[in-house]
Amino acid sequence: MKAYVLIKIRAGDVKDVVRSLRKVEGVSEAHMTFGPYDAVAEVETADVARLGAITASKIQPIPGVEQTLTCLAVDL
């Protein structure tokens, strides 16, 4: 399964957070963005439980991360 995690980051920490995201197992891509969110991470996992574990224990604890919003990708 694939999901996009939209991330709000404390000012001045965006580059460091994106570098850290790219090292997280399960994160296939991470990019800085402009708009209401500062970065987006594409996460690929086997199931929702693993996605939750990655978000809660690997992404949210990164210093500078203030908020996340996880969007599941759906193929039609």
State pTM to two decimals. 0.94
**DSSP H stretches of helix in the chain:** 14-21, 48-54
Instruction: Take residue 48 and report the two structure tokens written for it.
Output: 């929702």
Total domains present in the chain: 1
Q: What is the pLDDT of residue 75?
A: 87
Instruction: Take residue 63 and report the two structure tokens written for it.
Output: 């210093």
Average pLDDT over residues 16-45: 98
Residue numbers of the domain that contains 20: 2-72
Q: What is the pLDDT of residue 76?
A: 87
* CATH number of 15's domain: 3.30.70.920
Instruction: Take residue 65 and report the two structure tokens written for it.
Output: 């991360």
